[in-house]
Amino acid sequence: MKLIIFDCDSTLSSIEGIDELARAKGPEIFSEVEALTNAAMNGEVPLGQVFARRLEIIRPDLATCAAVEQLYIDTVEPTAVATLNTLREQGWKIVILSGGFKRLIEPLAAFLQIDRIEAVPLNLDENGFYISFDNSYPTTYNGGKPEIIRQLKSEFTPEQIIMVGDGVSDLETQSEVDSFIGYGGYTPREKVKAGADHFIYRLDELLALV
């Protein structure tokens, strides 16, 4: 089988889920969190360092989560549905690998008919208040995405494996995959573009590359 793995935020959808959680908490919290996200995605600050800090600032609740879940679907990449359908017809198994929160991404994944999501567990209590995130989950730190890809490789033993994403944490997977395809439709990054085997601005450009 052939495995194609997609980052979620700023790739399958235009948003960064954590930034949107922060936006819902007001402009000051938003700018503080956005700066941390950008620093991490540009590779200026280790991801593990900003992850807990962002969550402690935001402490997202159930209503905020629900709004962001819908936003992921509303801002889906314009060519994603058709591209993923074609990839499936061509025999590709599709996986989402994200440093975002699993519960926020699940509705988008269902919309895109993707049944496998690797993303960070977020724990709320029975009243919908924030408790914690799983800080042992690999995508909360640098080097976590390659770690998950090694697990997927031993689970599926794919004959071919491709990763698609916009961030430095995606580029880190390059040594584990046959081809790393950078995506710059929303947040093109020079570092990712320079390191990628290919660089695209629309997901349907993938179809000429796989």
Catalytic positions = 7, 9
Residue count, binding to Mg ion (CB under 5 A): 5
Min dist CB 166 to Mg ion, Å, is: 4
Measured from the CB atom, the residue of 60 and 99 that comes closer to Mg ion is 99
Contact mark string toward Mg ion, 127..166, x via CB under 5 A: ---------------------------------------x
Return d(Cα 137, Cα 192) in angstroms, integer: 23
**Residues 160-189 as x/- pattern, contact with Mg ion by CB under 5 A:** ------xx----------------------
Least separation in angstroms between CB 158 and Mg ion: 22
Please say which residue, 9 or 176, places its beta carbon nearer to Mg ion: 9
CB burial of 96-133 (b: ≥16 within 10 Å; e: otherwise) equals bbbbbbbbbbbebbeebebeebbbbebeeeeeeebeeb
Alpha helices in 78-135 (DSSP H): 80-89, 102-111
- The nearest distance, CB 210 to Mg ion, in angstroms, is 20
Q: Give the number of other Cβ atoms within 10 Å of residue 155's Cβ.
A: 10
Gap between the Cα atoms of 143 and 170, Å rounded: 9
Q: By C-beta, is 124 or 143 nearer to Mg ion?
A: 143
CA distances from 182 to 40, 91, 155, 163, 179 (A): 17, 22, 25, 8, 10
Residue 109 to residues 30, 89, 116, 119, 169, Cα–Cα distance (Å): 25, 18, 8, 11, 20
User: x/- binding map, residues 77-116, to Mg ion, per CB under 5 A?
Assistant: ----------------------------------------
Distances (CA, A) of 209 to 8, 124, 180, 203: 20, 41, 11, 11
Tell whether residue 37 is a contact of Mg ion (CB under 5 A). Answer: no
10 near Mg ion, rule: CB under 5 A: yes
Select 166 or 176, whichever has its Cβ closest to Mg ion: 166
Which tokens is 138 given? 């690999």
Q: Which is nearer to Mg ion, 45 or 124 (CB)?
A: 45
118 binds Mg ion (CB under 5 A): no
For residue 47, the minimal CB distance to Mg ion (Å) is 12
Q: Name the residues that contact Mg ion, by CB under 5 A.
A: 7, 9-10, 166-167
